[in-house]
Amino acid sequence: MKNQASLEIEVEKTAEGRRALIRFRPDLKQHGGQGADVKLVLFCKVDHSNPINKKVELLSESFKVSKPLHTLRYKCPRRLFTYEGNWIRLYARVSIIIGDDHLAKKFEAPLELGNIHLSEDIDETINPPDELSHGLHSLMLPAGSKPELLALWGGGLVFLFLAEHFLRNYMFTMSSEAVTFGLLVLLGPACGLLYLAWKKTRAYWKAPDLGLHFNIPEGLSRRSRSKAKINRQSRFLVSDWISGLATMDLDGVRLRVVAGNIERGPCHELEASMTSETPKLVKKDISVVTRAMVLYDKTIEHLPAGTEFAEYFRDPLDFEPVFTDLYPPDLVATRGFGGRLTLSSTHGLGYYLEFQLLHPDLADLKYEVESRYFDPNAFFSEPVPAPPAAPQQERGSSGQKKTGADSPPPLPPGG
């Protein structure tokens, strides 16, 4: 006998927020008087051949089938929304079980985002092209590092020359054991010094010592229960995050601040084993940055050696687009929706913030800010209305606004 039962789900907006309206029409001839279980589950499906998916149960109720239409209403928490990205998919599903019969249906709960600040080229935003000149790197080595590198390269080459001289003059006049020992004594230091020289030179090519240091502004905290975190009302200058004196003249140096979402989805992958010929299936936590935006971008044509970096970047850093245009983090957390909100769930969406110092010839410098400095609840809070416009300031005879010492200072970090 064909089952005539049906299930419909609709997400409606109310004054109190979104609500899932579940309509279940049973086949009374088959299901009347039986007990039914309804469940609402949020799934995180990973796009991989060996995925590690996760689900969080949001609703579980039982009822007795007694009428032709059963209507259930579930008030969706603000943290519930669905998403489809490059690596993961988040979707909700309602299922009703009556004896051996099982009805299930997916539904979407899209989140309204601004999206006006998102970059079209995500890869260029997160990983800008880094064209560097190794020759220029070598010429622009800081004065303090030159003697050390010259000593390492010179010492390694001297020992290499001595080894070649020893081999040419004593190879046929000494025993093979003595020649081997002599070569080991000379080639050991040569290889060690040259390796250190190459390692230090390569490290400088990757991260040149320009004198710039990235800082976390004083007062911000990573502690989960602390209120000293970045939120919608936070006010910062870019210079709050950097310090240091330029070690050399820098032309065309560019400072950017970029943000984006991170899709998180673990999977299993085969990995070669050192103790067995059979590969082992191991867990891999894979993250993909998506939905990127540029929060700040400024180029300095000429930054003289010895000047403070902060003096050139005393500009406001507005984090509001982060909370309006990016997806909130922690959709499918370890403890589910009943647990404390965190930014470090293994499934779902995370958050990404990075400072980038870009140079046309030198290696670019990057600094990633831990997401724990952000208040995750701020992604779900309403924006604060803009204050009324200040009265127009008095203008001088030149037509320029009078600013100066009477201007109010910016709010402290985290304020």
The pLDDT score that the predictor gives to residue 111 is 85
The pLDDT score that the predictor gives to residue 356 is 94
Q: What is the mean pLDDT of residues 60-86?
A: 89
Please report, for the chain, how many H helices and E strands are present, in that order: 6, 18
The pLDDT score that the predictor gives to residue 216 is 93
CA dist., res. 244 & res. 377, Å (int): 34
Distance separating the N- and C-terminal Cα atoms of the chain: 67
Q: What is the pLDDT of residues 11-51, one digit of tens each?
A: 988 888 889 999 999 988 888 889 999 999 999 999 988 89
Greatest mean pLDDT among 128-132, 182-186, 231-235, 270-274: 231-235
The residue assigned the tokens 């880094």 is 130
Q: What is the pLDDT of residues 308-323, one digit of tens each?
A: 999 999 999 999 999 9
Q: Which residues contact 134 (CB under 8 A, 6 or more apart)?
A: 205
Extract the tokens encoding 136.
């220029």
Please name the helix (run of DSSP H) or strand (run of DSSP E) that holds residue 150, with its range, or none. Answer: helix 146-170
Q: Does residue 397 contact residue 244 with C-beta atoms inside 8 Å?
A: no
Q: What is the mean pLDDT of residues 234-252?
A: 91
The pLDDT score that the predictor gives to residue 142 is 54
Give the rounded percent of residues in the chain with a pLDDT score beyond 70. Answer: 74
Torsion of CA 298, 299, 305, 311, to 10 degrees: -30
Extract the tokens encoding 183.
């070569």
Q: Does residue 294 contact residue 257 with C-beta atoms inside 8 Å?
A: yes
The pLDDT score that the predictor gives to residue 71 is 92
- Phi first, then psi: give them for residue 154, nearest 5 degrees: -65, -45
Extract the tokens encoding 373.
């400095």
Q: Does residue 32 contact residue 92 with C-beta atoms inside 8 Å?
A: no
The identity of residue 140, as a single letter, is: M
Q: What is the pLDDT of residues 87-120, one digit of tens each?
A: 899 999 999 999 888 999 998 888 888 889 999 8
Q: How confident is the model at residue 393 (pLDDT cuts 50, 70, 90)?
A: very low
Q: Does residue 40 contact residue 74 with C-beta atoms inside 8 Å?
A: yes
Greatest mean pLDDT among 123-127, 177-181, 252-256, 344-348: 252-256
Task: Please state, in angstroms and as integers, the Cα–Cα distance from residue 407 to each residue in 211, 270, 349, 350, 389, following that order.
Answer: 31, 62, 41, 38, 15
The pLDDT score that the predictor gives to residue 300 is 95
The pLDDT score that the predictor gives to residue 404 is 36
Least Cα distance to 329 among 354, 349, 353 occurs for 349
The residue assigned the tokens 């579940």 is 22
Q: Is the pLDDT of residue 306 over 80?
A: yes
State pTM to two decimals.
0.70
pLDDT greater at residue 211 or residue 391: 211
Q: Does residue 342 contact residue 333 with C-beta atoms inside 8 Å?
A: yes
Least Cα distance to 89 among 363, 347, 368 occurs for 347
Q: What is the mean pLDDT of residues 146-175?
A: 69
Q: Does residue 352 contact residue 262 with C-beta atoms inside 8 Å?
A: yes
Q: Does residue 153 contact residue 382 with C-beta atoms inside 8 Å?
A: no
One DSSP character per residue, 95-147 reads EEEETTEEEEEEE--------TTB-S-HHHHHS------HHHHHHT--TTTHH
